[in-house]
Structure 1
Amino acid sequence: MNPNRTIVLAKNVFQEVIRDHILYIIGFYAIILAIANRAIFEFAATTQDKIFLDFCLAAMNVIGLIIAIFIGTGLVNKEIEKRTILMLIAKPISRSEFITSKYLGLSGVLGVLLLAMTAIALVFLQLSKIVYPFTSFLIAVLFIFLQLTLITAIAITLGVFTSSLIATALTFAVYLMGNITQDLVALGRLTENPAVERFTQALYLILPDLSRLNLQNDAVYGMQAIPDVITLFGHGIYGLIYSFMLLAMAILIFLKKEF
């Protein structure tokens, strides 16, 4: 795989997604924060600080999730449906470069959007004179990015394997299940049924444990305490390794596809 060629392809993916009016979402984020700030102040003045901070992070996560899933699942299928994949493969571009560039390009878009939304959130927090843990907030945003890149890898892998519609539904399902895998294991133990317990353990091993990459509650309610660096590093490496494994799987599936 040629790194320079992959970067050029990723840049093209980035520009293509940006041209599809994705950046209008930044304006939408600013509008919903303005509305939420006013509404929260009217109906929950005593707990405004924590609720608004929680809303800022939750809105970032939801917007990024929608982009990662709906665009990620269609990145490869769109090329196949338009038959542009034949021209790309005819060129000296390997299939691994093709998949990797799609992942890096969309991850770049998500990174830019998160940076913009973070800046907007910080402006609102400052104007509203809300006290918040700055370091914990930024760490939570960083882990939102890691979670979204992992979801992007899932979306691309499923998009290579099946149609965009089915891949979208499956990616949403994996996201929902991935946030409760630890609860599923605990539930399996409570049933005291060996078969159910083995099933929940298998789900825990197969599905990504997205709760490791969710530091929203720590940023909102942990307040001044800085999270343990070793734990954060371990969770970050977990997300990166899982994404790498999914991309490797997507490449293997794509190598066996015939056009």
Structure 2
Amino acid sequence: MVFPVLPLSVPLANVQLWTTPLWILSIGVTLGLVLLAALWGIFWLVNRGAAKQAASAVAESVLVWILYAAAAIALFGVVAAPQMPLAKVMDSLRRLPSSGERTALVVVEPQSIDQEVSFDLVADEVIAYRIESDQDIRVADVTGEAYLAPTAIVAGDEPYAWNTKSKLKRGLEDRVSKLYLTNEGDAPANVSLSFTSEVLVPETRQIPVVALSLAGLFVVYVLLRWLTPGISNIAAATAKEAANQPIYLLLMAGGAVALFCYIYIPYNTFGEDVKMLKDSGLSTIMVLAILFAVWTASVSIADEIEGKTALTLLSKPISRRQFIIGKYLGILWPVVLMFVLLGGLLMACVSYKVVYDSRESSNPTPEWQLCHAEMVGLAPGLVLAGLEVAVLTAISVAVSTRLPMLPNLLIVGSIYAVGHLTPLLVQSSIGENEFVAFFGQLIALVLPMLDHLNIQPAIAAGQAVPASYLLVATLYSALYCVIALLLALLLFEDRDLA
């Protein structure tokens, strides 16, 4: 029997294609580390003792592995910089605040020539502009060129519009700091100027997002330790114990191997294998996280209650409310670590998959921008999958206050299945008898509509997930988590621990 050999060798040029998107994200990670260092430095100057405690809290938490991974990614960014479009990326990053749409309303006096209007533009970055005037005017980007080489000749009450698909010439050259307007008429001209620009490397827009996300994660953790010390101590102990369990390492290793193997699995989708990789990878990470969350909730809550360990813990100045919330957060932190590490690996696999598929199908070599677009499109899916795991974790915590692991797994698994079928149940109940319709609406009301946190339809359609949808999904998930934790508190409040 002959086993197929995985084609691991890739030309150096192709390596640069799929690593360029990763390198751009590494800039964001590097800036995030710099921001964290700056914040800690300011904190140290204000209160050295508290700064040392914050550093110690992070060093003892599971998030320290994210810090190690971030440092490794930053090192990759530094080492790979000579082979990457460093100058263009840095220039685009610097000009990000200047991009977007800018407008100006100007009154051009009659019989005036080359009236100046300040506009900081780079010709290659302008993707569209529109000039409106109630009088005939001429617009130039160089003084004295209004008649010889005008940028635009605008007729009164007839807007002059240009975009990248227009047959008209852009009319702008190099860098423009001023526009010159000429009005030969006898009446003043009311002129509206609107320019839309985009940096040469639009992918740099993700750099600030990555930097703020990385810094925000650690800031939130430190704030929780500072504002809720009792809850945070329980959460830190639970997270550290859970992350050191063999099952956690096994799930992480198994997930990493599975994501790597998904690259080479032939999905037979006629050029849509990248979509299948995204869907399979997201599902794998989410299922592994759910299994870990249910297992940890059962071990750290149900088993501690049965083994009287919880009674010993609650004999200290710790309330039952702190116990439940601390356990929930302690389960979530290793889940966050799993999503960050496996999610980053999945992004790298998707970026490589684009180049790999084009080579295997003998298609033209794609641009690195396509690798970046496919890779970044995963981010909303990871967020939505994380929200789904957070909701199911809250439910698992509530169940663990009364039931052991096996019933917990069955209940959470059933809610997972029904939650994804809820929209179908509601839709199928339309037109049926009142009891069926009531039952469908009741399920939709009581159980979480997890299908709304599923990005698979967007992946299949090749559509981006808008930020507004992520915001609504986050609010919905947070509300359901609060309800589930309140239920957990009610179930645990009168639980006999003796």
TM over 0.5, shorter chain:
yes
User: Does structure 2 conserve the Cα–Cα contact (< 8 Å) formed by 1:208 and 1:242?
Assistant: yes
Give the structure with the larger helix fraction.
Answer: 1
Determine whether 1:14 maps to 2:239: yes
User: Does structure 1 conserve the Cα–Cα contact (< 8 Å) formed by 2:239 and 2:334?
Assistant: yes
- The answer for the alignment partner of 1:88 in structure 2 is 313
Name which of 398, 401, 404 aligns with 1:160.
401
- The answer for the alignment partner of 2:446 in structure 1 is 206
Q: Helix, strand or coil: the match of 2:429?
A: helix
Determine whether 1:71 maps to 2:262: no
TM-score scaled by length of structure 2 = 0.49
1:218-250 deviation digits (Å, cap 9, x = unpaired): 2x2343x43333332112100001001110110
- The answer for the alignment partner of 1:104 in structure 2 is 329
- The answer for the alignment partner of 1:29 in structure 2 is 255
Aligned residues: 254
1:114-173 deviation digits (Å, cap 9, x = unpaired): 101011112222333354534431011011111101000011101113232212211111
Q: Helix, strand or coil: the match of 1:189?
A: coil
User: Does structure 2 conserve the Cα–Cα contact (< 8 Å) formed by 1:146 and 1:236?
Assistant: yes
Letter of the 1:179 counterpart? H
Structure 1 regions of 5+ residues with no counterpart? none
Range 61-70 or range 100-109, more displaced: 61-70
Name which of 481, 484, 488 aligns with 1:250.
488
Determine whether 1:229 maps to 2:467: yes
Deviation of 1:65 (Å):
1.8
Cα RMSD of the aligned pairs, angstroms, is 1.8
Determine whether 1:176 maps to 2:417: yes
* 1:132-143 mapped onto 2 (5 Å cutoff): 132-143=373-384
Q: Helix, strand or coil: the match of 2:394?
A: helix
Range 60-69 or range 200-209, more displaced: 60-69
Measure the CA separation in 1 of the matches of 2:464 and 2:345: 23
Name which of 45, 53, 58 aligns with 2:278.
53
Deviation of 1:45 (Å):
6.5
Letter of the 2:266 counterpart? I
**Which portions of structure 1, spanning 4 or more consecutive aligned residues, are displaced by more than 6 angstroms?**
none
Greater C-alpha Rg: 2
- The answer for the alignment partner of 1:146 in structure 2 is 387
Measure the CA separation in 2 of the matches of 1:63 and 1:37: 19
Letter of the 2:494 counterpart? K
Measure the CA separation in 2 of the matches of 1:70 and 1:84: 17
Letter of the 1:103 counterpart? Y
Letter of the 1:105 counterpart? G
Give the structure with the larger strand fraction.
Answer: 2
Measure the CA separation in 2 of the matches of 1:14 and 1:248: 21
Measure the CA separation in 1 of the matches of 2:489 and 2:461: 40
User: Does structure 2 conserve the Cα–Cα contact (< 8 Å) formed by 1:57 and 1:216?
Assistant: no
1:176-202 deviation digits (Å, cap 9, x = unpaired): 111111111111114x21111111111
Range 13-22 or range 60-69, more displaced: 60-69
Q: Helix, strand or coil: the match of 1:88?
A: helix
Gap change, CA 1:88 and 1:143, over 3 Å in 2: same
Measure the CA separation in 2 of the matches of 1:170 and 1:189: 27
User: Does structure 1 conserve the Cα–Cα contact (< 8 Å) formed by 2:285 and 2:342?
Assistant: yes
Measure the CA separation in 2 of the matches of 1:205 and 1:107: 25
Range 6-15 or range 49-58, more displaced: 49-58
Measure the CA separation in 1 of the matches of 2:270 and 2:256: 21
Gap change, CA 1:127 and 1:134, over 3 Å in 2: closer
Letter of the 1:16 counterpart? E
Measure the CA separation in 1 of the matches of 2:443 and 2:240: 37
Measure the CA separation in 2 of the matches of 1:30 and 1:171: 24
Range 207-216 or range 88-97, more displaced: 207-216
- The answer for the alignment partner of 2:84 in structure 1 is none
User: Does structure 2 conserve the Cα–Cα contact (< 8 Å) formed by 1:64 and 1:148?
Assistant: yes
TM-score scaled by length of structure 1 = 0.91
Structure 2 regions of 5+ residues with no counterpart? 1-226, 356-370
Q: Helix, strand or coil: the match of 1:138?
A: helix
- The answer for the alignment partner of 2:455 in structure 1 is 215
Percent of pairs identical after alignment? 22
Deviation of 1:44 (Å):
5.2
Range 96-105 or range 15-24, more displaced: 15-24
User: Does structure 1 conserve the Cα–Cα contact (< 8 Å) formed by 2:294 and 2:405?
Assistant: no
Letter of the 1:118 counterpart? G
